[in-house]
Amino acid sequence: MIAWSGRKKALMILAFIGPTLLGILLFNIYPITYNIFISFTNRNQYHPNPDCSDSLTSIIEPTCWPMFKESSGISTPYSYQDPTYKNYSDLLGKLLSSTGLLALVQVVICFIPLIVIAQVNKYYDRQLTRPVSGVVVWILGLLVTAIVFWLIGRPAMNTLQADSDFFIVVFRTILFVIITTPINYIFGLALALVLNTEYIKGRTFFRTVMIIPWAASTMFIIMSLVWQFFFRDVGVINQLLNIIGITGPAWLLDPTIAFGVVILVNLWFSFPFCFNIILGALQSIPADQYEAADMDGATYWQQLMNITLPLIRPAVVPAIVLSAIGAGGFQMFGTVWAITAGGPSRGAGVPGSTELVMIYAYKQVFQNNAYALAGAFAVIIFIFLFIMTLYSLRITRMTKGAYE
């Protein structure tokens, strides 16, 4: 009787979690496995169909399954690459050459000052008094990093960009994330601090207005096309500039300006997320913290640096990391595609000026029909994002005890 009761309980649990596990298997595990498999083959427009005589292919490839086998084509089937890792070597080969590795080392050296500054700040945080403000230390660190990058990193970057499309696309995406993430955070923090002040009238109305861009992101293609209309040569912005006698630039044809336009539109879509997270964190800070600080004579800046920012960190930092990984960062596609489609062009066979990783992968699949190469590219990006996700979980564990 007890054994049957235990079996019945297990079946009931399985009945509840079974559909979820099946969904994860079909829509997560299988696509990842299939993509990894494809990345080791030569599948492209000339070899689009599988070789169902291969045992592994017959298991993984759906068109080899009995219910779909009639849909399989008759052209030359794809096979494993020779060597098997050829797609990965095509993407990373030049980066792993002696010249590429030397250039990568030079780029890494440029960021050593930031690591040193972080350790110095940690050391000062453990002391009773700080001889130098943390903000000043970081400003000096960024200044030294900029100088080192100009002297060492810039030539190395030119070498890497000349040798590898992969590096161009990945570096541009990282640069996009590095620029947009702090801007979104600072903009969201500033608005949250203002609208969290009790002296502001109509706070509820303004908070609702702040959510509109975030809600509009569900229709991001339409809203992105609206932004594209603003920045066209004969768009709204240039028409307004013409009225006051200023000739507007070719916003979407200049590589640097087009990249800035994408950053601006991403800010409009993304800052409400940071705003809402920060506002919620601000409202959870006990008021007696500020009352005690006022009695001690602390200035607004001191309260911000020593009370507000440390206490909102547990909620904000994981959200920022996940935002950088998600649709506002490495998975950015729809907005860029609707506005520039990865352009303006930098020449035949060269990634466009706003071509981020998702745009590059899309073009490899749907324009170049290089399915296997795109698969290898996706695997590399997946590993990179997986590491970033683990890092975000580590940050979450580090900060979860802040309120305890």
pLDDT confidence bin for 403, thresholds 50/70/90: very low
pLDDT confidence bin for 75, thresholds 50/70/90: low
**Phi and psi angles of residue 44, each rounded to the nearest 5 degrees, phi first:** -155, -165
Please determine, for residue 34, whether its predicted confidence score (pLDDT) is greater than 90. Answer: yes
In sequence order, which residues have a C-beta less than 8 Å from that of residue 399 and are 6 or more positions away?
Answer: 313, 314, 317, 318
Please determine, for residue 258, whether its predicted confidence score (pLDDT) is greater than 90. Answer: yes
pLDDT of residue 98: 78
164-404 is classed CATH 2.120.10.10: no
Range of lowest pLDDT (120-134, 239-253, 327-341) = 120-134
- Looking at per-residue pLDDT, the higher value among 278 and 71 belongs to 278
pLDDT of residue 4: 57
- Looking at per-residue pLDDT, the higher value among 215 and 281 belongs to 281
pLDDT in tens, 342-397: 888 877 777 888 999 999 999 988 888 899 999 999 999 889 888 877 877 776 66
Please determine, for residue 33, whether its predicted confidence score (pLDDT) is greater than 90. Answer: yes
pLDDT in tens, 290-340: 889 888 888 888 888 888 888 888 888 878 887 888 766 788 888 899 999
pLDDT confidence bin for 259, thresholds 50/70/90: very high
Please determine, for residue 43, whether its predicted confidence score (pLDDT) is greater than 50. Answer: yes
pLDDT in tens, 182-224: 888 889 899 999 888 877 787 788 888 888 877 776 677 888 8
Percent pLDDT > 70 in the chain is 92
Could you tell me which residues are beta bridge partners of residue 80?
A: 41
- Looking at per-residue pLDDT, the higher value among 1 and 372 belongs to 372
- In the chain, domain spans: 40-77, 94-163, 164-404
Are the CB atoms for 316 and 281 separated by under 8 Å?
A: yes
Please determine, for residue 72, whether its predicted confidence score (pLDDT) is greater than 70. Answer: no
